[in-house]
Amino acid sequence: MDSAGHRDTTDSTETVTVLTFDLETERYCVRADAVASVLGVTDEQSIAMADDPWNAGSVSVAGERVRVVDLPRAFTAASRTTARIDDPKLLVFTTADTDGAYYGWLVDDVDTTRTIDAARLEPTQTSSRLAHVKGRLEIDGDDVIWLDERTIHG
């Protein structure tokens, strides 16, 4: 368990199911059990116009408020314009913040879940800019960056 009471999912003796998704040309993953649902987004215009991609507004899902992190913009250099795809997805997470709002990540495309051996995770050099990256691994021949949703949500 970590200091917040969460089970450490990178124990070298366990398998973990991850959900893979894309942002532009990069492939990412997150623990599948942290994701409550994947939704299509029909009108992301207000999210795209938000000043802060890390707090790009909120949407209502099944009567619950979901704070949106616009990952394509958050992970892109400010000098580069991110081209929007026609059918972005919203990953809605299972954990609510102290205000009772859930978190959602706007992403380009969502793939499937994969069960992987946690020992395959290669840690990356940590810096404050990359604190949300758990490491890298190869899944089905693709280089995948594993994101730590707890770090991104604070």
Q: What is the CA radius of gyration of the chain?
A: 15
Give strand pairing partners of 138. 143
Tens-level pLDDT at each residue, the chain (154 residues): 344 444 444 445 688 999 999 988 889 999 999 999 998 877 666 676 778 888 888 888 888 888 888 888 888 755 445 566 677 889 999 887 777 788 999 998 899 899 988 888 887 765 545 567 888 888 888 899 999 888 877 6
Give strand pairing partners of 64. 61
Domains of the chain: 15-153 (2.40.50.180)
Report the helix count and the strand count for the chain, using DSSP H and E: 3, 10
| CA 56 to the chain's CA centroid | 14
